[in-house]
Amino acid sequence: MSPEAFQQQLADDGITITAPQMTQFATYYRLLVQTNEQVNLTAITAEPEVYLKHFYDSLTLALALPELQTQPWSLLDVGAGAGFPSLPVKIVFPQLQVSIVDSLNKRIKFLQELAGELDLEQVAFYHDRAEDFGSKRSSHRQSYDVVTARAVANLPVLAELCLPLVKKGGYFVAMKSAKGDEELAAADYAIKILGGKVVATKTLTLPETADLRKIIIIQKTKETPKTYPRKPGTIAKAPLVDRV
């Protein structure tokens, strides 16, 4: 996907990308490739692939949850790596207050430098583990309108990392591939225990490749019990699944 095709596809989707925003995406691509030579940020570096599989794919978040296009919501990205999906969404919808938490400080440093180059305002970056970031002692617990994650973990694990960070009435949005339905079935128990309710599952296909995407929207309907998230290492080893 060329930058021009990226802009046109989003126009077809009802999203207008301005010339200054296109310049921001070009700068994002340049810095991503430069930094990737020293820090492992992504295996995808060819321009057409970055525009399709990183930039456009990130913006499917705002297609699945259209309120992100207009509301001044707080959006937390868990384990964003090189900034996906939250920073492309921030570029296009600057009214959002975007935060990113990642466990690798090298990635956080890249994101801080990137945000400066892109002149992004109302962005925050935290070097922390998601388990600690959403713990009962954390000021970030249950404080975000939307929490999202892309390519981080299976849904039962991801739900325990993300739902404790969502405020009551807010949303946890999981960006998944074709196996999303299978993961959702496995995560049903965890979602209920953690205070969530599945309100929508959106199926999208990427242009040009027709790769399938499942975007699962979970609303926080009650507070997460204080015992969750559990300690680092425990969640992945013993995910919350129905043992019956």
Known binding residues for S-adenosyl-L-methionine are 79, 84, 130-131, 150
What's the first-to-final CA gap in the chain, in angstroms?
Answer: 46
Q: List the one residue out of 102, 110, 101 whose CA is nearest residue 76.
A: 101
80 within 8 A of 87, measured Cβ to Cβ: yes
Q: What is the DSSP string of 56-118?
A: IHHHHHHHHSGGGGT---EEEEET-TTTTTHHHHHHH-TTSEEEEEES-HHHHHHHHHHHHHT
**11-43 CB burial, b ≥16 within 10 A, e <16:** eeeebebeeebeebbeebbebbeebbeeeebbe
Strands (E), the chain: 74-78, 97-102, 123-127, 144-150, 166-176, 196-205, 212-220
Q: Within 10 A of 95 (CB to CB), how many other CB atoms are there?
A: 12
Residue 169 φ/ψ, nearest 5 degrees: 95, -15
CA distance 203 to 194: 24
